[in-house]
Copies of this chain bind each other. A is one copy, B any other.
């Protein structure tokens, strides 16, 4: 891979209508395209789910960032996000790199969620990791495979920044996301070289809230676990606090890292946090 082979880069914001950083960055760059233009390639900026943004909701009918699977793309669709996925696919699937902008209510700081296995994807992640020492890399192999917006192309990942509530712009995280995207564009316009070894948090499993027989949540993320994303959870560490004040501890035998702890959008998906191993990943 060399820079001459990169002809089209895509920035997607507003995949989730209530994640304002991506929404307002997309709107800003659509109005000011010179800021994301690079002399080596074309950059297309897409404000993906405008209808969901108007309603300040993650989605209208179903999660767009779980709707970009081959199953949906090849089916007869009628749901809003399925139609959006098909439209996005026709617009961006032939691009050379897709970066999709997200926020989270979890204290994920500045992070990349990478599910793509391509070398260019990992070179870009490695470069950004070196340039931004606080940046964390999460290799996600969670629910539906290949259904992310950034799965539509051959290379790409999602940027996740937090903690920020849904429906809120935080200037600090807006600026950090902006810097990260500019650095990515510069990298893609450069010689594409980076270390081929990188520290990552490798997805292992999902942990749901404790629930009763009706499926109702019976406990909250423990105050000692709240905001502790990318921190180690050891056996018998507090995980949840019941509504009447009892602590529920981690029963696993292996120390693991907690991520996406108490993300608002995941209550309905049925998980309170993700667990991951920290590893040195060579590619």
Establish whether residues B172 and A226, one from each chain, have CB atoms under 8 Å apart when the complex forms. yes
What separation, in Å, do the CA atoms of A27 and B175 have in the docked complex? 40
Greatest chain B CB density within 10 A among A27, A57, A262 is at A262
Mark the stretch among A4-12, A146-154, A163-171 that contacts chain B.
Answer: A163-171
User: For chain A, which range describes its interface: under 10, 10 to 19, 20 to 34, or 35 or more residues?
Assistant: 35 or more
Establish whether residues A165 and B223, one from each chain, have CB atoms under 8 Å apart when the complex forms. no
Establish whether residues B168 and A243, one from each chain, have CB atoms under 8 Å apart when the complex forms. no
Within 8 A of B (CB), among A240-283: 241, 243-245, 262, 264-265, 267-268
Establish whether residues A223 and B172, one from each chain, have CB atoms under 8 Å apart when the complex forms. yes
What separation, in Å, do the CA atoms of A241 and B172 have in the docked complex? 10
Q: Name the B residues within 8 Å of A174 (CB-CB).
A: 220, 243
Q: Name the B residues within 8 Å of A216 (CB-CB).
A: 27
Nearest B residue to A27, CB-CB: B216
Establish whether residues A226 and B171, one from each chain, have CB atoms under 8 Å apart when the complex forms. yes
Q: Name the B residues within 8 Å of A241 (CB-CB).
A: 171, 175
Within 8 A of B (CB), among A54-68: 56-57
What separation, in Å, do the CA atoms of A28 and B220 have in the docked complex? 13
Establish whether residues A171 and B24, one from each chain, have CB atoms under 8 Å apart when the complex forms. no
Establish whether residues B220 and A264, one from each chain, have CB atoms under 8 Å apart when the complex forms. no
**Partner of A166 from B165, B172, B226 at Cβ < 8 Å:** B165
Establish whether residues A166 and B167, one from each chain, have CB atoms under 8 Å apart when the complex forms. yes
What separation, in Å, do the CA atoms of A241 and B105 have in the docked complex? 22
Establish whether residues A262 and B168, one from each chain, have CB atoms under 8 Å apart when the complex forms. yes
What separation, in Å, do the CA atoms of A243 and B223 have in the docked complex? 34
Within 8 A of B (CB), among A209-233: 216-217, 220-223, 226
**Partner of A169 from B32, B56, B57, B221 at Cβ < 8 Å:** B221
**Partner of A56 from B24, B223, B243, B268 at Cβ < 8 Å:** B268
Q: Name the B residues within 8 Å of A168 (CB-CB).
A: 105, 165, 262, 264, 267
Within 8 A of B (CB), among A9-51: 24, 27-28, 32
Q: Name the B residues within 8 Å of A166 (CB-CB).
A: 165-167, 264
- Residue pairs across A and B with Cβ atoms less than 8 A apart, 15 shown, are A24-B217, A24-B220, A28-B243, A56-B268, A165-B165, A166-B167, A166-B264, A168-B264, A169-B262, A170-B221, A170-B226, A171-B222, A172-B223, A174-B243, A175-B245
Besides A28-B244, A167-B264, 4 more A-B contacts (Cβ < 8 Å) are A165-B264, A169-B221, A170-B226, A171-B222
